[in-house]
Every structure is written in structure tokens, then in C-alpha cells.
Amino acid sequence: MNILETRNISKYFHDPVEFQVLKDISFAVRKGEFLSMVGKSGSGKSTLLYILSTMDTEYSGQLKVDGQTVTGQTNDQLAEMRNNKIGFVFQFHYLLPEFSCLKNIMLPALKLGKYTAQEIESRAYDKLKLLGLEDQALKPASKLSGGQQQRVAIARALINDPHIIMCDEPTGNLDSKNTAIVFDTFKDLTRSFGQPIIAVTHDEEFARNSDRIIEMRDGEIV
């Protein structure tokens, strides 16, 4: 079963010059698949990921998540879909700096409102533990190292049990030990819960150990 599917996705930037970043991107991600996306800097990986995450709506072609056509939905519908079904880790760890790590992780779940605040807190705590950060739970996010912040962002992406997880260089700032932790966590998620993962990475070993590699070059999948 395909959790995510794109058909002929193209995108242009008009400023400063007309430039096609993405050219007819068509691919699918199956349930439980661990997919790596590689490619040179500037090849359009982040741009594609923004579209897949439903945040960028300025493209042509079609995007389906969970068999549902996402293209053309209203902003509110898209927001709901992101909250519900998509876990996203940005290229640069974007946490709310004044909030504690725990609170950062809890936010998407508080928005979703499926569990009580207490349940959410204990779930958030579990995610932190999973990524080896339980001792940092109450620190404000701004007081963490880059690698720690990145792991908090990963924990946050997992909190709502998303149907698919997308990461833009999730291990870009991590040493080999923590990269291994993140990799194993991802692998485990895909295996135990069938949550597929799309991870943009420059780490060859990381890519090699995943289920499938997609390579981008000049806005095309090769």
C-alpha cells in the first residue's frame, strides 16, 4: 500500500530568474519503507520535501497521502493533515527556544487533542527517552546543543504517531553514536509500526543501510 504518492510534480521559482527546481517528480513510498533521498546541494531535495509535507502548495502535479489527494485542499485541511499524519524534521532544527524540550514535543499533540495533557506529557517523556534525552526534558530548547536539539525535533515529529515521517538531514549535526541511535530508531519505527520514513541525507552509510535510495540531480530523480 502506498502511503505517499506523487505524480508529475514540477515547480518553478520566478525570482530572481525563471528556474525549474523540480522536473516531473513521480514516485511512491510504501508502508513501512525506509527511504533515503540523496543528491548534491541545490538539487532540490528540501524543496521537494516542503511540497511532500504539504507546506508548499505552489507546484503543478499531484500529491497523495494515505490514498487521499492532497493537491488543492484548503490551508486548514492541510494543517490538519500535517498535525495528524505527517511528522516533519527540518533541515535546521526548529524548536520554540523558550519552551522546554518536553513542551516542544508536547505541542503538536496538545493541538491534536487526542489525549489528555497528562497522557501527552508521559508520551513525550517516552519519546525523549527513546532518543536518549530524558535528562534534558525540562531545559529550555535554546540551551541544548545542536545535536540535542535535532533529536528533540525528531522526538516531536514522532509524538502524534504520524503515518509518514519526513526528515531533512536528520543526522546532519550528529556524531556517529547518535546517528546510529537515530538510524536504529527510524528502522525500528518502520519495522514495528510500519511508519514509512523519507530521509534526506548526505551520509552515505545512512543511505546505504536504508531500504531504498532515491537520487536527485538538478530537480530530477535519477
Ligand X SMILES: Nc1ncnc2c1ncn2[C@@H]1O[C@H](COP(=O)(O)OP(=O)(O)OP(=O)(O)O)[C@@H](O)[C@H]1O
Listed residue (23, 14, 21, 105) closest to 61, CA to CA: 23
Residue 47 lies near ligand X (rule: CB under 6 A): yes
Q: Which stretch binds another protein (CB under 8 A): 63-71, 104-112, 173-181, 208-216?
A: 104-112
Contact predicate 211/35, CB 8 Å = yes
Q: Which stretch binds Mg ion (CB under 5 A): 53-61, 79-87, 89-97, 187-195?
A: 89-97
Own/partner contacts of 23-26, CB < 8 Å, gap of 24 or more, are 23/218, 23/219, 23/220, 24/61, 24/220, 25/61, 25/219, 25/220, 25/221, 26/61, 26/221
Which one-letter amino acid corresponds to residue 74?
Answer: T
Residue 46 lies near Mg ion (rule: CB under 5 A): yes
C-alpha grid cell, residue 165 = 515521517
- Kindly write out the interface string for residues 2-41 of this chain, putting x where it contacts ligand X by CB under 6 A and - elsewhere: -----------x-x-----x-----------------x-x
Contact predicate 150/172, CB 8 Å = yes
Contact predicate 156/131, CB 8 Å = no
**39 or 162: whose CB is closer to ligand X?**
39
Q: What is the DSSP letter of 172?
A: T
- Kindly write out the interface string for residues 154-173 of this chain, putting x where it contacts another protein by CB under 8 A and - elsewhere: --x-----------------
Give the shortest CB-38-to-ligand X separation in angstroms: 9
Residue 93 lies near ligand X (rule: CB under 6 A): no
Q: Taking CB under 6 A as the criterion, which residues in 177-206 touch ligand X? A: none
For 165, the 3-state DSSP assignment is strand
Half-sphere exposure of 171 (CA within 13 A, CB side): 24
Q: Which stretch binds Mg ion (CB under 5 A): 57-65, 85-93, 96-104, 189-197?
A: 85-93
By CB under 6 A, the count of residues binding ligand X is 12
- Across the beta sheet with 19-30, the strand order is 19-30, 2-13, 60-65, 68-69
Q: Which stretch binds ligand X (CB under 6 A): 42-50, 78-86, 102-110, 114-122?
A: 42-50
Q: What residue ranges bind another protein (CB under 8 A)?
A: 46, 50, 53, 55-56, 75-76, 79-84, 88, 90-92, 94-97, 107-108, 111-112, 156
Q: What residue ranges bind ligand X (CB under 6 A)?
A: 13, 15, 21, 39, 41-47, 91
